[in-house]
Amino acid sequence: VLYGQADILTIYGDQSQAISIKLGVSGPGSGAEYMQEAVHDLIGNEAPEGWDLQIPKKIFVNLSLQNKILEIKEIDYERSSW
């Protein structure tokens, strides 16, 4: 599986909001076979087998939204042991 992710986070007052999107692909389009073969060549291992049995091409999309209320505490650093 090959995927990319983008995130945006905003904080305003005592709230944070985040949006995240992941896009990915499995199967031959992911380039995993090429990468595994390149690593095996690099380290001198035998060629990997089983790529004719890999999972088929699929597209993945994951959209995530989060809203959080933040707890803000003030610390008196003059009286702190820090």
Residue 37 has pLDDT above 70, yes or no: yes
Long-range Cβ pairs for the range 48-57 (8 Å, 24+): 54/27, 54/28, 55/26, 55/27, 56/26, 56/27, 57/25, 57/26, 57/27, 57/28, 57/29
Query: Could you give the percent of the chain with pLDDT greater than 90?
Result: 57
- The pTM for the full model equals 0.61
Which residue do the tokens 């809203």 mark?
A: 67
Look at residue 43 in the predicted model and tell me its pLDDT: 95
